[in-house]
Chain A
Amino acid sequence: AQKVTQAQTEISVVEKEDVTLDCVYETRDTTYYLFWYKQPPSGELVFLIRRNSFDEQNEISGRYSWNFQKSTSSFNFTITASQVVDSAVYFCALSESTGNQFYFGTGTSLTVIP
C-alpha cells in the first residue's frame, strides 16, 4: 500500500536559517510521482515540484532544493535562507503513474520567525 510519512509535525526556524523537511514514502509501484505542495494560511495548495520515480537527480529552484533517494525512499525538501513568507504547511505527496490517486503526508507546519 502507498503511504507518505512526514515525521516532522511542526518546525520553527529563525529567518535566514536553512531548513529541511523530511518525506519518506512507501509504494510497491515501480513507476510513480512524488510531489511537494505548499499550503499557506489562506488554504490553497501551491505546487512546488513533481519528480518521476525514474529521475533521481536532485533539483534546485532558487532557494528551494529537493533530494530524492530511492534507496531510502526519501524525497526531502530544503529551503535555504528561509524567509517569513515561507511560513506555511508543506505537504509531500505520492501518486501512481496515472496521476490519479494522490497520497498526501500529514504535512509539516513551518514557522519562520523574523
Chain B
Amino acid sequence: GAVVSQHPSWVICKSGTSVKIECRSLDFQATTMFWYRQFPKQSLMLMATSNEGSKATYEQGVEKDKFLINHASLTLSTLTVTSAHPEDSSFYICSARDRGLRNNQPQHFGDGTRLSIL
C-alpha cells in the first residue's frame, strides 16, 4: 500500500492563484522530504529538499519565494506555488526519505499532483 500520500492529485486554477500541495508520510516519520517537478515528456527534476523544522534547500534556478516549502511536522511537507502562472503548470511529485529502507526503498514517492494554470 501507499506509504506517501500526496494531495490533491490534480488542480486547475486561474493565473495568480496560490496553490498548496501536501505530502504526507503515512506510517513512518520523514525528517527529509523532496519535491520534484516533471514537465511533459521530461524527467523528474529535484526542486528542493525539505527538512523538518528548518528551512528548505532549493536547487539552483528554483525560486524560493515562488515555491514555498513548509515541513512543520515529521509526517507533512507542503509546497505552495504562489501567484501561479501558466508556465508553472507541471506535474509535481514529492518523496519522503525512509531511513528504514522499507520495501528496499530509500525514498517513497507520492502519486503526484497535476497542476494546470489557466
Contacts and interface: CB of A to CB of B under 8 A. Distances in A.
A43 B91 contact: yes
A45 B106 contact: no
B71 to A, nearest CB: 14
Interface in A85-108: 91, 95, 98-102, 104-107
Contacts, number: 52
A50 B111 contact: no
A43 B114 contact: yes
Contacts of A100: 32, 34, 49, 97, 106
* Size bracket, chain A contacts: 20 to 34
Interface in A34-77: 37, 42-45, 47, 50
B43 A44 contact: no
B49 A91 contact: no
A71 B46 CA distance: 28
A44 B111 contact: yes
A104 B112 contact: no
Given A91-B43, A102-B46, A107-B43, A43 B111 contact: yes
Given A43-B111, A44-B111, A100-B32, A95 B44 contact: no
Interface residues of B, number: 24
Given A43-B114, A100-B32, A100-B97, A91 B44 contact: yes
B105 interface: yes
B60 interface: no
B107 interface: yes
B43 A43 contact: no
Contacts of B110: 44
A47 B103 contact: yes
B97 to A, nearest CB: 7
Interface in B95-116: 95, 97, 101, 103-107, 109-112, 114
Interface of B: 32, 34, 41-46, 49, 91, 93, 95, 97, 101, 103-107, 109-112, 114
14 contacts: A37-B109, A42-B111, A43-B114, A45-B93, A45-B109, A45-B112, A50-B106, A91-B44, A95-B106, A100-B32, A102-B44, A102-B46, A102-B107, A104-B44
